[in-house]
Structure formats: structure tokens, C-alpha cells
Amino acid sequence: MSKNAKVAAGGVAVGLILLIWLPWWAALLIVLGVPAAAYLALDPSQRRRLRRTRRREIGR
């Protein structure tokens, strides 16, 4: 199993646990808020590099 598949499986597991323990709106807020906060915590140069990498992978 690749590293990305492990991360995705872990994310799904955490999401399901959050849906069981919290109201759906709180779980959705956490699931969407954590990646957004992580992206906003990056420096502008790191954001540019991340966008450039994404575009390159889409064009494959």
C-alpha cells in the first residue's frame, strides 16, 4: 500500500469516528478546517511550490 493510500485510509477512518462522536456540522468543520489552516500556515513561496507541483501532476 502506498503512502498516499495509507493517508487516505487514515483520513476516512478519522472522518468516520468524528461523525460518530460529533454532530455532522462540527465534523465537517474539522475535516475542512484543518487542511485549510495548514495551507494558510505555509509561506508564500511554499504555497507557490505546492500549486506548481499540483499543476504539473494534473498535466501528466
Number of domains in the chain: 1
- pTM value is 0.57
Question: Per-residue b/e over 28-44, b at no fewer than 16 CB within 10 Å?
Answer: eeeeeeeeeeeeeeeee
pLDDT of 31 reads 80
The domain of 36 spans 3-58
Say which residue, 54 or 43, is predicted with more confidence.
43
- Write out the DSSP string of 4-40: HHHHHHHHHHHHHHHHHHS-HHHHHHHHHHHHHHHHH
> What confidence tens digit (pLDDT) does each residue in 6-47 have?
988 998 898 888 888 888 888 888 888 988 999 999 999 999
